[in-house]
Structure formats: structure tokens, C-alpha cells
Structure 1
Amino acid sequence: MGHSKANSSQQNHANPLIAAATSGPGKLPEYPLISPEHVMPAVQWLVSGTNGRMAAVEAALGAPGVKAWDEVMVPLEEVAATIHAVWSPVTHLFGVLNSPDLRKAYDEALPLMVDLDLKLGQNETVYRGLKSWQSDAGAWGKLSAAQRRIIEKRLLAAEHTGVALTGASRERFNEVEKELSQLATKFSNQLLDATKDFALNMSSKADVDGLPEHLLELAAHEYARRNKTQPNVKDGPWAITLDGPSFIPFMEFSKRPDLREKIYMASIKRASSGERDNSPLINQILVLRREKARLLGFNTYAALSLSSKMAPSVAEVRGLLEKLLNAALPAARRDLEDLKAFRKAHPALDGKRADGASTEALSHWDIAFWAERVKEAKYQYSEEELRPYFPLERVLDGLFALVKKAFRIDVRRAEGEAPVWHEDVRFFKVLDEGGKHIASFYLDPYSRPQNKKGGAWMAGCLDRWQSPAGLQIPVAHLVCNGTPPVGDTPGLMTFDQVRTLFHEFGHGLHHMLTEVPHIEAAGINNVEWDAVELPSQFMENWLFHVPTLKSLARHYQTGETLPGHYIQKILAARTYRSGSMIIRQLQFAFTDLELHEEFDPAGKETAFDVQNRHMTRAGVMAPHPENKFLCSFSHIFAGGYSAGYYSYKWAEVLSADAFAAFEEAGLENEATVANVGMKFRKVILAQGGSRHPMELFVEFRGRKPEPEALLRHEGLLSS
């Protein structure tokens, strides 16, 4: 028996997931040591250990007398920290270093994690104990406002995990949750696979007419990687994929309408047929979400979703979206007319179809190409011309200088001080103005379509936590999908990619500059979903401040600062097609809301009918009849944005209004920027989820948010 225990202990010690979870606060994951075979044993260990810890919490809650935070909530925080230490590295690697073996291990362990999550959320002893604590005025009064909010949100979350359900209803709820979790994973995997499956292979110079050099390099290397050959940038062959850094510039620059059509059709039909078909999953997910909402006493899933959001009701959300649509739709119609007129006047700018078919009518696959041509003519620059001025290293230097000025923090490179999962990954430390190490972050900047999902995100690696064993400082994962270095050329960014980096860094600041000592309200934890984008979208505004833009835009070969005429054009181009960009986001938001509010999955209309109706009502071109965008809408079917996609626009109103406080104080005055910046840091960033976001916003701004600043920034404010 003793021998078996010793073996078990040795195995646990050899498992890097368990080792990190038992090393005390602040232990960074040993990413290079984590293998798929570690996942299941670590999760089994976690489940077993959590059961033991919860028994102690239940005993404390069941004992007579006034409860203390330390005897109830601190053990619950320890449980949360242990779960995070085991499962967070697994979900992280699943997104950035996916493999068939890891996927298999993840799929096997996921039901255990869902069970554990449900068991914790549905722990009736904890729920009843916290409820009675809440109703004891004397005990409740001894807690801080942050502690009370943590318990209130925990009770709400418990109610959302079915804690009040009994018998058959509880059993069915648990089945639904498990099915939804598996369907989300399947949706995500099939989308990743469908993206990976597709390649547009090209072998003649005519096929690549108009394509910029960086895309030819990327495409030659992609073809070589797929076919295990040597890349030939000059003569090909080349392969274009549905991954953003490949697909987007191809649609903007290819002078082959027939090839644009081919890749556009592949994009809108992605994951909608054959063995990768997400269509049936969409209906299954919507049916189960509706059932879940009704089990919890809500009429619709949207009502359930909004019960934990900042927005008070579906009606209020729709009201804001309609206001934005009314401002944006006339501008979007003008955008389309401008584009048509320019195309008619300059037909020679585009090429011919290889099949000789007419290109007279404007098609969906022409929009990005002609929008880029109008932009070049109007502002006389292309995204590609700017790319050499945005090497990643220079952009980072400028970003770090900005946050030093605005928030009085120092970002230091710390490569080699933390284990990383890929050679591209960098590690950084964040110091306060006194030189104290207050946070760290990883940056994984480049696209790797073979094993890394698309998009960009920030996720917590470690949360800030004043544990009994000492302070754990926050650590963030910042993940982007920028254009990787090719040969001697460093990773050069488009302006849009720079904007994405600033956006994710805003989330990172929210996570890293928190001063809340409790895991459950530190950083973005406990922040209402529709307020969580405030700091990220706030950071994007700095790119339109000339001194900031100059500080991060230097030519990678000559060191020349971005010339003034480019800067003026970037500022002017900020509102270029803003109406068109906004209506696209509104189409997604309206579709998401209706699918989770009025839509009946068993009714006559399909989810795609709803999608097309909103694309028509809030659009300027009828959607393509074969458009199956929903099959790749992972935000709402495999992410956290179900009945919550509106939150991007909701938070844009908050962030534009917050940035207006800096504009009003004077962006050129470093002292006032630092003063307003420190107020933003101390009120919005430092307090994380410890107070309601509306309360924090009003404290920072002196009033409730107003949409005028957003409409002004977008050039849509009628004056």
C-alpha cells in the first residue's frame, strides 16, 4: 500500500500540471513539459482533491456562529486557484498549440471538468450558507463592498448553474450543460479543421497579379509547408488560406475576380458542408440554450444572458443598436455609391476573369478590392505601404512608452525568465513607478494556422490573489495572429494588426493593473461581460493621437519616422467606410440577439433566414444566397458572446466617452494626461470586478456614458 502511494506521489510530482498546482501561489506553468498524457491524470487528481477541500468548506458553513471571510471564502479561492493551475494551461495550449493528441486528451477530460464545474456551482450547502450569511445584517455589514459583491455574483452564478433545481430538472440541466460544452468544442474544432483544409493553390504569375510582396512570401512558404517542398517566392507555387493574414490582403489586392470569388465563397461557406458541417450544431446549440433558460425560469436565453450583464434589458440594447444603425446606414449607403462610381470610372484597375465571364455587376468579392482602391485614391496610401513602418519590436517600444506616460508603469523584456510554448513567444515584466514587480505577461504575436486558432485574445495565466501563503501577482497571455517574420524580414504589421495589439493590451492592463486582493474580482474577473471591452477599445483610441503614432511607427530598415503625410491620411482614413464597418457589426449583434430571443429553432424560419434578414435590413447589399456565415460565428457558438455580441458596441460607447476625458484635459499636456491616466488606472483598471461598472464609470467621468463621443470618433455625428 505504502509503495503504491509513493508511486502515486512520484507520478504527481512528474506531472507538470499537478506540480504547478501544488507549488504555492505564483508558479508559472511549465509549458514545454506539458504533454497530452498529463491532462487526464491531472484532472482526475484535481477532481479528487477538490471534493476533499469542499467538504471542509461545507463544514465551516454548517457550523454555528458568525462566519468569517477567511474560513469560508479563502478556501473557496484556494479551490479556484488549484482548478485554474491545472486546467488553464490545457485550454491555453488547446488554442495555441493544438494537436490531434492534445485534442483527444482535452475531449476526454472535458466532461470531468464540466461535472466539477457543475458540482461546485450547484453546491447547495455553499449556496444556502452564503444566502444565510447575506441575510444576517450584522455579519454582512462586516464585509467590504468588494467582498459583498463577490458573494452576490457567486450566488447569481450558482443560480445560473441550476443550484435551485431538484430531481429530474437538475439531472436534465446537467445533461444540457454537458452537451452544450461538447457542442461548442466540436463547433470550434470543425471550424479550425475547415480553415486548415482549404488552400487556393496558384502556379502562374497571372494568378498572383496585384498581390503584395509580403503576401507572396507568406503564400510561397505556406505552399512549401503543406507540400513539404522548398519555397519559391518569385515563381511559386503559392497557397492562399482562409487565415486572416492570408485571406484579407488577397481579397484587397488580387486582380483576379474569379479567384477572389473562389476564396470568398470558401470563406462564407466555411464549415457548412461534409464532415466539417457546423449547420446542425447551430440548431442543437440554440435548442439546448432555450431549454437551459427555461429550466432556470427565464423565457429566453437572451433574458438569462442579460441577467448578469451591465445592460438592463434586451429592449435597451436594441434601442442603442437602432440609434447606431440610424446614424450608420445612410453613411454605408454613401460608401457603396462612392465605390460603384469609382469602379465605373476606373475599370482598368481590376483584372479579368480567366473564364471570360462578365464582371460588370458589383459582387461581394469585389467590395474589399475596390474599397482598398478607393482608399488608395482618396488617401493615397495602402495598408501595404505602411507595413514597413510597423515592425513588431518598434510598435512594442511605442506602446510601452505610452503606458509609462499614461499609467506610470514600466514594461521590461524578460525573455528566458519563464518557460514558453513556442519559440515566437516573449515574456515581459510590469513594474510600478517605484520599480516594484506588479505583473507579467506572455506575448504570442504571430499566426500559426496549422495549430493555433485565428483571432486575438487575452486570457489570465495567473490572477492577482492575496493568498494565505503570500501575494500572487497577475500574469496575462496576450495572443495575436500577426504576419510572421519571413527570411530576413521581421514581423511587419498592418495598421489594423497594430490596433488589435493595442486592443488586447488594454485587456491585459485590466488584468495586470488590478489592486483587488480576491481572485474572484481581480482584473477582468467578475466584470460584467458588456463592460469588459472598455479598457481594450479605450487603448485603440491612442493610435489616432499623432505623438503616440509617431513614437511607434519607424521604418524597419531606415529608422525613418512615419512621414507626416501618411499620418494625416491615417487620421482622415479613420472614418473611411465607418458606416459600412458599423452596420456589419450591427448585423451580427441583431442576429445574435434574435437567435437567442424570439427565434424558434423548431419553427419555419432557419437560423440562416434570421442571419439573412438582418444582413438585408441592416445592410446595403443583399447577402449572397449561399452565405453560411453562422457556421464560422464562433464568438456566439463556441465563445462567450452568445446573446452578448452587442457588448462590443455597448463598450465602445463607454470607451469613446472615457477617452474623451483625456481629450478634454488636453492630449498634448503630459501632466494632465498622467493625472487623468492615473484616475483611469485607479478607478477603472485597479478595481476590476469589485464594483459595478456603471458606478466606476460615473466615478471616473462624473456622469453616465453618452454615445456622442463614439459617433464623433466615427465621423457620424451630424453637426
Structure 2
Amino acid sequence: MIALSSALRARAFAAGNRFNRPALFTKLMSTATDVENPLLQQEDLPKFKSIEPKDLTPAVNTLLEKLDSDFDQFETTVAAANGAVKYDQVLPELERMQFGLGYVWGIAGHLNGVKNGEELRTAYEENQPRVVQAMTKFSQSKPLYDALETIQKEWTDEEADFEVSQKKRAVEGSLLAMKLGGVGLEGDTKEKFNEMKMKLAELSTKFSNNVLDATKSFSLTVEDTASMEGVPESAKAMWANAHVMYLKSQDAKDDIPEMNPEAGPWRITHDMPSYIAAMQHLPDRSLREQIYRAYISRAAESAEEHNNVPLVYEILRLKQEMSQMLGFQNQAERSLASKMAPSVKSVEELSDLIREKALPAAERELAEITAFAREHGGEEYTEDNLEKLMPWDTTFWSERLKESKFDLTEEELRPYFALPNVLDGMFGLLERIFGVTVQEAEGAAEVWNPDVKFFKVFDAETDKHIASFYLDPFSRPEDKRGGAWMDVCIGKSEAVKRDVPVAYLTCNGSPPVGDKPSLMTFREVETLFHETGHGLQHMLTKANVGDVAGINGVEWDAVELPSQFMENWCYDRPTVYGFAKHWETGEPLPEEMFEKLKEQKIYGAGMMACRQLLFGQLDMELHSNYDPVAGASGEGETIFDVHRRMAEKYTPYSQPLPEDRFLCTFGHIFAGGYSAGYYSYKWAEVMSADAFGAFEDVGLDNEEEVAKVGRKFRDTVLSLGGGVPPMEVFKRFRGREPSPEALLRHNGLA
């Protein structure tokens, strides 16, 4: 996933812009206090050891004052030119102008996700309206818009080299973003639009905080050893360790017992590794039900101070009204104006094409799981006692069926997926197919948590340092939001003289327990590869125009291509055997285990595809056809009615419970960048599967040819960024437009 950083990009013209681009150090400091403020020391990487929440407001004050003055002068100069302006007088100047604030607000947004606390929240929320207001001034500047239009008219439609193509795309993207940001509005309408924009930013932050707080508020302590019968050692160790860590955090006066995975007690939370392990492995149905029901009701009506229900209605209403102010019928149309997909209808057509293949498979899969549960689950699972599996049963029995089918458990695999080994193997893949080497650079950068590692990326041929990244791999439920994402720390930009892009790669994987390293689930391995794919597109860019370098300027429904592409390598023999070795003995993954792992790839593919289609079409329905005002007043469908209605089409075999409040935690669309865009996962998956097909075509065991295709992928998909339209990028790599055939084949649905 790509984080929708609430940070500035170097040119954050409108709501459609996604990434902060931190700045080159400039002489902004005017007082002794400013000089001492680590957020204003911008010549290098962020000073994470020194940065404190109290530093944010003084830094923002200094930077906003300078930015306001600089932009007023810029507008005066541009307006006085009477249209006689050149590209170099506009976009590069804006990048340089917005350096400092982008740097500071990017750090603030990042820490808000990985080191959340009351003091930082308060400072962030106090400054957010001021930052939004400052950026709105840019997005609605008529002199700036006129200057960009003048520059655009000077270019011909003739095919240009990459240097010119970057600039053309940057100007085109800026003009579109300004239109979507309200540059054409005037008077009371403009004022109301801007008020809504600030309110929307506030609501999105509150939504995310509510999910984090609601997730942290749940825990279930289990003391009955019988309830842990058959549970893997890793899960018991994780829960036992969580209990001990909780006691320590509470400053318990009594002696805190040693962690005992076999005897407990065990503390289960809604932190993702803990929750998934409970759903997969707890044999006690009543415990699973209790954990599940609490999970699906997070941040909902019962949460009181963490209630996201009214926020969802208000977010939907604001987006709808703002879109209509801009001349669109709804938020979905506004969203698609800057994406590859031409219409809501085209998204539905792709979804239904995949549904036609996936739904029959999903129904067969669930029927098989149900039959297995009735055969092995005892009296309570017989047909007389259970008409169908309940939601808290499906994952548990799916896991048991998978173990039975493939004679392979997740627990057997974990010892072969120690994080240090997985990283070594993944880095070996990057050298093999992309020609880059990765080296840990301990001590080269300050970090926000001891778990965080810093790495440098080098071109293998020249040994030149071309990029860097931070890796924050483990869950920390006390102050880190769930999920996994990539975000920008420093972007590549000639204007600000930054040639070494830096990324944040954030996961929430299984932490080390005792003397054992992090022993990953296979899904966690795939997630790490996924986020690395996002990072590679940011880090390996050849674009030097900041607005289109890396992921900047890439249409949202193409941005998941590199990330989903990277997941395919988790089933490639040379790649897997580059890291799959026992963490204690060093023995490689047994051959039969690898074969079973590959066989498992399409296990449950129908249900997984239908689930993703549901999320995508639920998102699109809420942002295209739904009336949030009627829903909030009780005169129309509620948002939860819409969820159930869409589930009837895409997951009819598994209807949500009446109390299901999934939408209250759907941060992708209510606190992130996927509003009317969640379909992007499937849209881009068509391209990513087809892209991997190019490697399959030459033979994955043909190292020489694989390397050639890999370099071509680097030189197109990973290098061109937003400087070339994504369809053109794909055609340069594949020689044609993408086909869904590879996706259906990879998922066993062809």
C-alpha cells in the first residue's frame, strides 16, 4: 500500500496529490530557537533522535511565514510578466519555495503513523488547518494557473524526449490538480469549498486516530491452557510475551513472571499479527467469536469517543458536495478524472469480468471448508447444529483444510522465514534482476525506534549510491497504526538538488520473541516484497522533475503495479532458496515444502478475489450512487445497508453480520488516498500479473534472459515514474496493452 501522507508534496496543489517531497536545507533560521530546532535542520536526513512534538509548531510558524512572503512575491512577478513566462521560472521555483514545509510536514505525518502519542497528535491537529490553508493558496492561484497554461500551449504534440516529457506531464498534472483543487471557484463558493477541504483533512486524521485507539483498547487475557490446545508455539509465545509486556507497561508492583508460552497467561489483542493468529488457530469457538465480534465493531457506535460512524457520513457528504461544486456528479467522477480508468462503468465491467470467474470458485471453496469442518469439528459443527459456518469459523477451518490438503502448516514454515534471511534473499533478487545492491548502513541515519533499520541502495555496475530506505518491520500496537505502507522521506528533484531518494517501508510483522529473531509468516514475506516494490519505483526513478519523479504523478490505479509484481517472486525457486533456510541449523527449506508452498498459491483464490472486488465496488458505490445525507438522517440506506447490498452481489456466500461495522475502519478510503480508488488493486493487478508474464515467457530458470527482462522492467516501470503515461510505460515494457489472462491464470481462475 502507498500511504496517503497528509504531508505536503513539493507541489501539493490539490486533494489528488499524494506524496510529500522533503526539502533541501535552506537558510530559514532567523533566531537561536530556530537554529536549535531539529525540524529546521534540513540539509540531510531527519534528526529523529532529537525531534520532539514541541518542535512542530515553531517550525511550521517559521516556514509558513517565509512561504507566504515568497509566494506573494512569486505571484506578483508572474502576473507582471503578462504571459511571457518559461517553465524554469515556474515549477522549479515552486519546488524550491516549498522545500522546508514539505520536509517538516512529511516528518510529522510519518511520526503520527509510527510513533503516535497525545502530544504529537495535538501539535499535528493544531497545525494541519494552517498547512492545508497554505497549500490551498497554491492550488487556487489564478496567476499560477495562467502561467502554467501559457507554458503548456508552447509545447507541440510531437513526441518528445524524456526530459521534455517529464516537464509536460508535470505541467499537465499541475493544471488538472488545480482544477480539482478549486482554482475555478469564486466568491462564497470558493470560501465554502476551502472550509470543507480543511474540515475533510481534520475528519480524516480523526478517523485514523479513532481506529488506532479502538484497536488498542481491546485485549483478551486467556489463562485456561485447554483453550490453547493445538495452537502453534509462535502464537502462544507472541501472546505470552504480550501479557508480560503489558504488565511492565502498567508498572505492576508485584513481581512480573517470566514469559511462559506453554503455561500462559496469554494476551490477545486486535493488533494484526495477534488477531490473525487467533482467527487461524484458537480452537475455542467462543473465544474466536468474542474476538471477532469485537473486531468488526471497532470505532463504531459502541466505541463512544472513538465512534467513526458520524465521521463516515460527514466525509462522504463533504466529498460529494465538493465534487459537485467542481462540476462533477459525484466523488467517483472527480476521482477518476486523474486516473487511468475512463469511467465508473469501466471499473464495474472489469470487476464483473473477474467476478464471473471468481464467484463460482469461491462458492466451491467455502463448500469444501464447510464439509471439512462438519467432518472434523465434532457435534457442534454437524448440519443439524450449524446451517453454515460463522465468520469466526471460516478462517480457522480454512487453515485446517489447507494443512490437510498440503500437509504443511504455517508453523512448519516460520523457522525458514527469519527476517534477516528474508532480507538477504530479497536483496539478492534485486541484484539479480534489477542490477542494484542493498547494504545495511547502521548508524548512518537516526531512527525513531530501535527496531528500525536503515539501508543504502547502490547501482551494481557503477557502485554509485543511488537511494536509501528505512525499514520499520514489526508491529507496535501501543503507538503504531496497523497495516503496511510505503511513504516518501526524500524525493528526487533537480530543482532542490536532491539526487538520492529515500523511502520509508513500514510493516506490522511478527516481532522477535525471546532469543528468536522475527520468524515471519509467508503472508508477511509477501507483504515485505509488496512494500519493497513500491519503494523501488520511488528509489530507482530516473526522473528528475520532482512532480513526476518516482511515484509522484503516476495515476493512482497504476501505482500498485510494481508492488504486486514483486509478490510473484515469493514463488520463484532461486528467490525463495535465497532466503528460506532454518534460522538455527541453516538447512534449506525442504524441497517438498517448497512444492507444497507453490501449490498453496491458488488456495482460496476465489474467496480472496471476491473479497477484494467487494471492497472496491463498495467504495465505488458509496462515492457514486449513495446519498449520505439521507443515510445519516435515517431516510435512506445506511452505509451498512450498502455494505450488505454489495456483499449480496460479490460475496453472497458470506453476508456480513448485522453488527458488522467494517466501514468504520476502512482507512484506505476514509483516511487515505483510495477514495473511489480501491479498485486500483485489481486494476493494477492485471498489469502486474501480465508484467511478470514477461519473465515467465523467457523461462524463470533462464538467468541470462530473466536479467535482461529485469533490466527492461527497471528502465521502464521503475525508472520513468510519472514522466510518461502509465499505459505508454507498460507498452514500452511489454510491447502491447495489458491482458487479464495472466491474472486469471496465476489465480487458478482461467
TM-score (norm 2): 0.91
Q: Paired residue for 1:691?
A: 724
Deviation per CA, 1:466-498: give whole Å up to 9, x if none.
136x44310000011111111101011000000
**Equivalent residue for 1:132?**
150
d(CA) in 1 for partners of 2:263, 2:28? 62
2:141 is aligned to 123
Counterpart Cα distance in 2 of 1:334 and 1:351: 22
How far apart are residue 351 of structure 1 and its match? 9.1
1:475-514 alignment to 2 at 5 Å? 475-514=502-541
Q: Is the 8 A contact 2:85 2:147 kept in 1?
A: no
Equivalent of 1:616, from 630, 648, 652? Answer: 648
Matched residue, 1:13:
35
3-state SS of paired residue (2:603): coil
Note closer, same or farther for the CA distance 1:360–1:591 as it changes in structure 2 (3 Å cut).
closer
Name 2:463's counterpart in structure 1.
435
Q: Which amino acid aligns with 1:132?
A: T
**One of 574, 594, 599 as aligned partner of 2:601:** 574
The aligned counterpart of 2:191 is 171
Contact 1:285-1:637 at 8 Å conserved across structures: yes
Per-residue CA deviation, residues 517-550 of structure 1 (Å, 9 max, x unaligned), is: 1111110000000000000000001111122111
Shift of the alpha carbon at 1:59? 3.7
Q: Does 1:277 align with 2:310?
A: no
State the alpha-carbon separation in 2 of the partners of residues 451 and 206 from structure 1.
32
Distance 1:507 1:268 in 2: 29
175, 186, 189: which one pairs with 2:206? Answer: 186
Q: CA deviation at 1:649?
A: 0.3
Shift of 1:360: 7.1
Which among 143, 162, 171 is matched to residue 182 of structure 2? 162
Question: Cα 1:307–1:100, aligned 2, differ >3 Å: closer, same or farther?
Answer: same
Task: Tell me which amino acid in the other structure corresponds to 1:288.
Answer: L
Amino acid across the alignment from 2:215: T
> 2:276 matched to 1:248?
yes
SS of the aligned residue for 1:515 comes to coil
Amino acid at match of 1:345: E
CA separation in 2, counterparts of 1:406 and 1:423? 31
Aligned counterparts, 1:442-591, within 5 A? 442-467=470-495, 470-591=497-618
Partner of 2:8: none
Deviation at 1:53, TM superposition (A): 2.2
Distance 1:166 1:64, change over 3 A: closer
Which deviations, in whole Å up to 9, do the C-alpha atoms of 1:662-692 show, x marking residues without a partner?
A: 1101111111111111111111111100011
Give the residue type in structure 1 aligned to 2:119: D
Q: For the Cα contact (< 8 Å) 1:317–1:646, is it kept in 2?
A: yes
Residue in structure 1 matched with residue 734 of structure 2 by the alignment:
701
- The one of 367, 382, 389 equivalent to 2:409 is 382
Amino acid at match of 2:454: F
Distance 1:15 1:137 in 2: 44
Mark the CA change 1:598 to 1:139 in structure 2 (over 3 Å): closer, same or farther: closer
Displacement of 1:83 in angstroms is: 2.5
Distance 2:156 2:613 in 1: 48
**SS across alignment from 1:593:** helix
1:34 aligns with 2:51: yes
Aligned pairs (5 A) from 1:324-473: 324-348=354-378, 361-432=388-459, 433-467=461-495, 470-473=497-500
Contact 2:380–2:386, Cα closer than 8 Å, also in 1: no
State the Cα deviation string for residues 594-653 of structure 1 (Å, max 9, x = none).
000001113311111011111222111222111111011111111111100000000000
Query: Which residue of 260, 263, 268 corresponds with 1:235?
Result: 263
Q: 1:451 to 1:46 in 2, by over 3 A?
A: same
Shift of 1:359: 6.1
Residue 652 of structure 1 corresponds to 685
**Which amino acid is 1:514 matched to?**
T
> Structure 1, residues 138-182: CA drift from partner, whole Å, max 9, x if none?
899998121011011001111111111000010000011111111
Distance 2:97 2:556 in 1: 23
Match of 1:75 in 2: 93
Aligned-pair identity in percent equals 48
Once residues 691 and 76 of structure 2 are traced to their aligned partners in structure 1, the CA distance between those partners, rounded to angstroms, is 46
**Shift in Å at residue 207 of structure 1?**
2.8
Amino acid at match of 1:423: P
Amino acid aligned to 1:106: Y
Whether contact under 8 Å (1:414, 1:428) holds in the other structure is yes
Q: 1:305 corresponds to which residue? A: 335
Q: 1:151 aligns with which of 171, 176, 186?
A: 171
Instruction: Look up the SS of the partner of 1:298 in the other structure.
Output: coil
Separation of aligned partners in 1, 2:242 and 2:138? 45
User: Is the contact made by 1:67 and 1:139 (CA closer than 8 Å) also made in structure 2?
Assistant: no
Instruction: Give the letter aligned to residue 14 of structure 1.
Output: E
1:643 maps to: 676
1:217 to 237, 242, 252: 237
For these two proteins, the number of residue pairs brought into alignment is 703
Q: Which residue in 1 is equivalent to 2:75? A: 58
Give CA-to-partner distance per residue, 1:212-233, whole Å, 9 cap, x none. 1111121122222223344343
1:581 and 1:688 map into 2 onto residues whose CA distance is 30
The residue identity in structure 1 corresponding to 2:663 is L
TM-score normalized with structure 1 length: 0.95
Alignment deviations for residues 411-447 of structure 1 (CA, whole Å, 9 cap, x no partner): 1111110111110011111000210000001101111
Counterpart residue type for residue 160 of structure 1? L
- Structure 2: runs of 5+ lacking an equivalent: 1-26, 249-255, 631-635
The 3 A distance-change label for structure 1 pair 47 and 398 is same
Q: Do 2:83 and 2:150's aligned partners in 1 also have CA atoms closer than 8 Å?
A: no
Q: Which residue of 1 aligns with 2:107?
A: 89
Q: Structure 1 residues 138 and 617, CA, compared in 2 at 3 Å: closer, same or farther?
A: closer
Q: Return the offset for 1:65.
A: 6.6
